[in-house]
Chains A and B, each alone.
Chain A
């Protein structure tokens, strides 16, 4: 321990000043000079204490089923071609596919369906001369399954996105058949959160149809091509504009095979944020093939049907790495990387309800809780003074220091205060009181042995220190494990406890000893009021 009283005193006061500076925005609205040079963030309050954004999202399952039937349709077509089944017509309906084949190929077709499409069942046949109309229905059990899975996948994806966005203590639950309820505490930028959550995040790579680009102006879109909007941002002005671009309809690669997406800064325009993506081995193989076959052509990178960039493929790219540029701002690039990492939603979502709600516990409970906490603290403070007299005052000063440091640390770390967090603070304060009780009881024992005040205080602190240290470290171990594995409220509890234990070790031992030493050196008392 540091011997010099002056240095110790300066340390204690320095931390206090820093804490007060960080706490100030909670008391008065920062203005002018303060806002410019000092921290101006308030302590964030969790949903249970403050309320927050309440979003009700609805998964577009109709659109999802359409996509699903689309995919089945393509797979079915490919399988028939591969198996050499000739078909005159193939049609898709809402929940079924119908195919027109020659009657003698019926058995071959049924074999194929039985082998490769177990989720389809025959929905009847109709003869048309030599030909046969066969209808296949999607099993109802399968449809229900798909819908159920979709909601669950959407829930997981949204949870991932919110976790990475950094909102603590979100509530994300399934509501009704295909709705998802999301509650976000203390969101500063609701619009951005909304966009992040609601974005489908379908990443696709398609080729630009350059041969036919000129024909579009006439109004005719060639078969197998489509027009999408392309977003570009002016690098000087920062204004985003949209243009149209003609693309080949076929999707060469999707975001499903992505393993990672990160924000990087640099590239050909200096310090511009862009998103670098990485594919898994299969994705890398496909990307390698695409780039090898299309050197010199433009490859469009599409997210949710908007083209973000369409760079010319200069050379074959192996290794499975690519980047998405598009004149993003830092926030845009960050959000884009989050949605890419968290995966795509199985279907688009629609925001049904977007309101701001009050705290989970109700404002009345919180007000009563605050009143009770203040009353309880006063009782403890009085008790300490009654029982330990003058030394009790020192313990109370240490306690107040503890509280100030905690609030300061909370503000500085931008942690979110929740009810479990407050429970953590309560435990910290409790341990703070306990540390001082341990020390004081030791000092009393030493005094009983007939030691001088100075010696009793020194050895009291020294002996109590071991017990205090051990009990704090065991609590710290638990808190760290809870922090690593816990989510939501448990994590909030763990954070307060970790910060609290460290601060407590400082204030209860270092802080109160400094005050003791100062009094002992300055006044050299014969007796100690303890």
Chain B
């Protein structure tokens, strides 16, 4: 039997104060990021803000990857490039708005003429586009997230306890907000892909929490007195630790491949999942269960 961990006996509950401070900092940064995002001061993608559509025609075939690189090197990193089937035309979508439309067109022209001296190109036109994600959709998204949280609280409360239901949603929320914060600090672009990544992380984190809860519930049944709740939590987390590490490792392999081989467009997406994996695992051990512990001690 190959084993990474053997009979660990780590006092996770003992770490709770340090963990709560760390989490408080993470969440504070996340909330700051949320405020900045709602004020429109973050690096928000074309999907949400709208931008300028530019159509370019080349005389010869141009590789889309090279074209993307030319833009990144030229200082326009947030571009969406689409080929038009059967032609040598490309659609370029950037975040920059109509007010500096002339500037954008000039900038694109100068970037391209620097890169493709021989491959003649012409800019067929540029046009301002509105945001791809409408206001109504945002409203629905908020309702959806709210309802999902309520659903989880009810289910977890039914299967475990009400306190654990609340704690699980807090831990999940903690993860999503923390990753938003990290992305804001790193000035990464928030696009639809990242939103999907956040949802994936929420799913992963919740699952991790439930697995720990399940073990706690099982061990509680064997518990003799009410005092050693902390001991039970510690034992339970230690018992599922090898599962946590193995699952985390195998997910890491898949994500690592995506980060190394996936190319720059998918890098941010896999990077978000990567941090999400770490924060999600951390929160199910150091946030979700300790909250239940502290809560029970305070109110019983």
Q: Which of A388, A434, A467, A489 contacts B214 (CB 8 A)?
A: A467
Asked if A359 and B144 make an inter-chain contact with CB atoms under 8 angstroms apart, the answer reads no
Asked if A482 and B257 make an inter-chain contact with CB atoms under 8 angstroms apart, the answer reads no
Give a binary string over A477-501; 1 marks a CB under 8 Å from any B CB, 0 the rest.
1111110111111100100010000
Asked if A467 and B141 make an inter-chain contact with CB atoms under 8 angstroms apart, the answer reads no
Asked if B207 and A420 make an inter-chain contact with CB atoms under 8 angstroms apart, the answer reads no
Instruction: Flag whether B299 is at the interface (Cβ < 8 A).
Output: no
Q: Which of B131, B143, B269 contacts A485 (CB 8 A)?
A: B143
Asked if B147 and A485 make an inter-chain contact with CB atoms under 8 angstroms apart, the answer reads yes
Alpha-carbon gap, A509 to B288, bound state (A): 27
Instruction: Flag whether B203 is at the interface (Cβ < 8 A).
Output: yes
Asked if B129 and A477 make an inter-chain contact with CB atoms under 8 angstroms apart, the answer reads no
Asked if A437 and B152 make an inter-chain contact with CB atoms under 8 angstroms apart, the answer reads no
Asked if A430 and B261 make an inter-chain contact with CB atoms under 8 angstroms apart, the answer reads no
Give a binary string over B230-261; 1 marks a CB under 8 Å from any A CB, 0 the rest.
00000000011011001101110111111011
Q: Which residue, of A362, A379, A431, A480, has the highest number of chain B Cβ atoms within 10 A?
A: A362
Main secondary structure of the interface of B (DSSP, over half): helix
Asked if B214 and A470 make an inter-chain contact with CB atoms under 8 angstroms apart, the answer reads yes
Distance from B124 Cβ to chain A, minimum over Cβ atoms (Å): 10
Asked if A362 and B265 make an inter-chain contact with CB atoms under 8 angstroms apart, the answer reads yes
B242 surroundings in chain A (CB, below 8 A)? 441
Q: Say yes or no: A173-B130 contact (C-beta < 8 A), given A369-B262, A376-B256, A475-B203.
A: yes
Q: Which of A355, A471, A488 contacts B211 (CB 8 A)?
A: A471
Asked if B261 and A383 make an inter-chain contact with CB atoms under 8 angstroms apart, the answer reads no
Alpha-carbon gap, A410 to B106, bound state (A): 45
> Which residues in chain B, 36-81, are within 8 Å of chain A measured between CB atoms?
50, 53, 63-65, 68, 80-81
Tally of contacts, chain A with chain B, CB under 8 A: 224
Asked if B148 and A481 make an inter-chain contact with CB atoms under 8 angstroms apart, the answer reads yes
Distance from B203 Cβ to chain A, minimum over Cβ atoms (Å): 5
Instruction: Flag whether A51 is at the interface (Cβ < 8 A).
Output: yes
Distance from A437 Cβ to chain B, minimum over Cβ atoms (Å): 5
Asked if A175 and B85 make an inter-chain contact with CB atoms under 8 angstroms apart, the answer reads no
Give a binary string over A33-65; 1 marks a CB under 8 Å from any B CB, 0 the rest.
000000000000000000100100000000000
Q: Which of A175, A360, A365, A441 contacts B243 (CB 8 A)?
A: A441
Asked if B196 and A373 make an inter-chain contact with CB atoms under 8 angstroms apart, the answer reads no
Instruction: Flag whether B91 is at the interface (Cβ < 8 A).
Output: yes
Size bracket, chain B contacts: 35 or more
Distance from B144 Cβ to chain A, minimum over Cβ atoms (Å): 4
Instruction: Flag whether A384 is at the interface (Cβ < 8 A).
Output: yes
Q: Say yes or no: A368-B263 contact (C-beta < 8 A), given A437-B243, A493-B196.
A: yes
Asked if B196 and A362 make an inter-chain contact with CB atoms under 8 angstroms apart, the answer reads no
Distance from B216 Cβ to chain A, minimum over Cβ atoms (Å): 11
Alpha-carbon gap, A424 to B132, bound state (A): 22
Distance from B215 Cβ to chain A, minimum over Cβ atoms (Å): 7
Asked if B204 and A362 make an inter-chain contact with CB atoms under 8 angstroms apart, the answer reads no
Instruction: Flag whether B83 is at the interface (Cβ < 8 A).
Output: yes
Q: Say yes or no: A357-B85 contact (C-beta < 8 A), given A444-B1, A470-B214.
A: yes
Asked if A423 and B197 make an inter-chain contact with CB atoms under 8 angstroms apart, the answer reads yes
Asked if B253 and A380 make an inter-chain contact with CB atoms under 8 angstroms apart, the answer reads yes
Asked if B148 and A477 make an inter-chain contact with CB atoms under 8 angstroms apart, the answer reads yes
Asked if B255 and A360 make an inter-chain contact with CB atoms under 8 angstroms apart, the answer reads no
Q: Say yes or no: A482-B251 contact (C-beta < 8 A), given A360-B82, A490-B199.
A: no
Instruction: Flag whether A171 is at the interface (Cβ < 8 A).
Output: yes
Alpha-carbon gap, A431 to B200, bound state (A): 11
A91 surroundings in chain B (CB, below 8 A)? none
Asked if B82 and A362 make an inter-chain contact with CB atoms under 8 angstroms apart, the answer reads yes
Distance from B91 Cβ to chain A, minimum over Cβ atoms (Å): 6
Asked if A482 and B254 make an inter-chain contact with CB atoms under 8 angstroms apart, the answer reads no
Asked if A364 and B207 make an inter-chain contact with CB atoms under 8 angstroms apart, the answer reads no
Asked if A376 and B255 make an inter-chain contact with CB atoms under 8 angstroms apart, the answer reads yes
Instruction: Flag whether B10 is at the interface (Cβ < 8 A).
Output: no
Asked if B65 and A51 make an inter-chain contact with CB atoms under 8 angstroms apart, the answer reads no
B140 surroundings in chain A (CB, below 8 A)? 485-487
Alpha-carbon gap, A188 to B156, bound state (A): 44
Q: A358-B64, A363-B83, A488-B137 are in contact. List 6 more A-B contacts (CB 8 A).
A: A376-B258, A423-B196, A481-B144, A482-B148, A493-B196, A497-B203
On A, residues with C-beta under 8 Å from B are 51, 54, 159, 171, 173-176, 179, 181, 355-365, 368-369, 371-373, 375-377, 379-380, 383-384, 386-389, 419-420, 423-424, 426-427, 429-431, 433-434, 437-438, 441, 444-445, 463, 466-467, 470-471, 473-475, 477-482, 484-490, 493, 497, 530
On B, residues with C-beta under 8 Å from A are 1-2, 50, 53, 63-65, 68, 80-87, 91, 127-134, 137, 140-141, 143-144, 147-148, 151-152, 155-156, 159, 168, 192-193, 195-197, 199-200, 202-204, 206-207, 210-211, 213-215, 218, 239-240, 242-243, 246-247, 249-251, 253-258, 260-263, 265-266, 269-270
Name 13 A/B residue pairs within 8 A (Cβ), A-sorted: A51-B85, A54-B91, A174-B130, A362-B83, A383-B253, A423-B197, A477-B148, A481-B151, A485-B141, A485-B144, A486-B144, A489-B192, A490-B141
